[in-house]
Chains A and B, each alone.
Chain A
């Protein structure tokens, strides 16, 4: 998993899976599959509602250790199965906090039976994203870039990694 910053308002998480694209797409859109992987090890997805069409909404309710809950919800803006999903996302229930709503774009690319998922989160302003970077994400991004650099160094002379 590599975290990078493609533009000044975005954070991008890239991960390659050893599976064909339609299956990876299904795992991101079918509640019975989403419930089996979405969230950290010690969290469970209790509610998973997916209305997979432009204008349709999605809602995940997660429960973690000590009964902690987390609501994630948003609206699908664009669905192009099995290639691309664009949706708004917010981790709070209150409408008034729409200023903290981000835009998520999932892109699925298959090559030789393996699928790369690129999850790009676009923040409302550069300032919001930078405040994210200045407080702690920077270390994660640094680690990601370090690993990419190491990977490129290790494979120089051979074809570039996908």
Chain B
């Protein structure tokens, strides 16, 4: 079941959500979803300096959402999709949590009223 896979790793989920809480970082991820890019290429569409972009990249790297290539000059950034998938799974689980709970509550309320 999806819930079990991720609820045991709350730190990973926290890191994912914290990293996603910033619009620039979400834009960086959206750009990387189209293919890898260097820091210079990433900085271009934003009104930000390369050091500012690097700071955001460090947060994304720590959250495991981005990895850097070995090429010493360019060190291309690429998207690591698994933590995002885990976060999505957790939310699907969240929805399932409530729909299944409420199904059970419905039958419990029926039972309680029959017994009255």
Partners in one complex: yes
Asked if B97 CB lies within 8 Å of chain A CBs, one says: yes
- Judging by beta carbons under 8 Å apart, are B91 and A136 in contact? yes
CB-CB < 8 A to A24: which residues of B?
109
- Judging by beta carbons under 8 Å apart, are B98 and A19 in contact? no
Closest-by-CB residue of A relative to B19 is: A131
Majority-rule SS of B interface residues: helix
- Judging by beta carbons under 8 Å apart, are B105 and A17 in contact? yes
- The bracket for how many chain B residues form the interface is 35 or more
B21 to chain A, nearest CB (A): 4
- Judging by beta carbons under 8 Å apart, are A128 and B87 in contact? no
Asked if A58 CB lies within 8 Å of chain B CBs, one says: no
B32 to chain A, nearest CB (A): 15
CB-CB < 8 A to A56: which residues of B?
none
Asked if B4 CB lies within 8 Å of chain A CBs, one says: yes
- Judging by beta carbons under 8 Å apart, are B110 and A136 in contact? no
Contact of B14 among A1, A13, A100 (CB under 8 A): A100
Given A17-B106, A24-B109, A36-B104, are A132 and B91 also a contact pair (CB < 8 Å)? Answer: yes
- Judging by beta carbons under 8 Å apart, are A91 and B10 in contact? yes
A49 to B17, CA, bound (A): 29
CB-CB < 8 A to A39: which residues of B?
97, 100-101, 104
- Judging by beta carbons under 8 Å apart, are A135 and B88 in contact? yes
Q: Which of B92-107 contact A (CB under 8 A)?
A: 92-102, 104-106
Number of interface residues of A (CB under 8 A): 40
Majority-rule SS of A interface residues: mixed
- Judging by beta carbons under 8 Å apart, are A37 and B101 in contact? yes
- Judging by beta carbons under 8 Å apart, are B1 and A17 in contact? no
Asked if A157 CB lies within 8 Å of chain B CBs, one says: no
Contact of A3 among B93, B95, B100, B112 (CB under 8 A): B95
Given A1-B99, A65-B4, A91-B10, are A134 and B26 also a contact pair (CB < 8 Å)? Answer: yes
Instruction: Offer 12 A-B interface pairs, CB within 8 angstroms, sorted by A.
Output: A18-B106, A18-B110, A23-B109, A27-B112, A40-B101, A65-B1, A91-B7, A97-B14, A127-B22, A128-B17, A135-B20, A135-B87
Interface residues of A, Cβ cutoff 8 Å to B: 1, 3, 13, 15, 17-19, 23-24, 27, 33, 36-43, 64-66, 68, 70, 91-92, 97, 100, 119, 125, 127-128, 130-132, 134-137, 140
Interface residues of B, Cβ cutoff 8 Å to A: 1, 3-4, 7-8, 10, 14, 17, 20-23, 26, 84, 87-102, 104-106, 108-110, 112-113
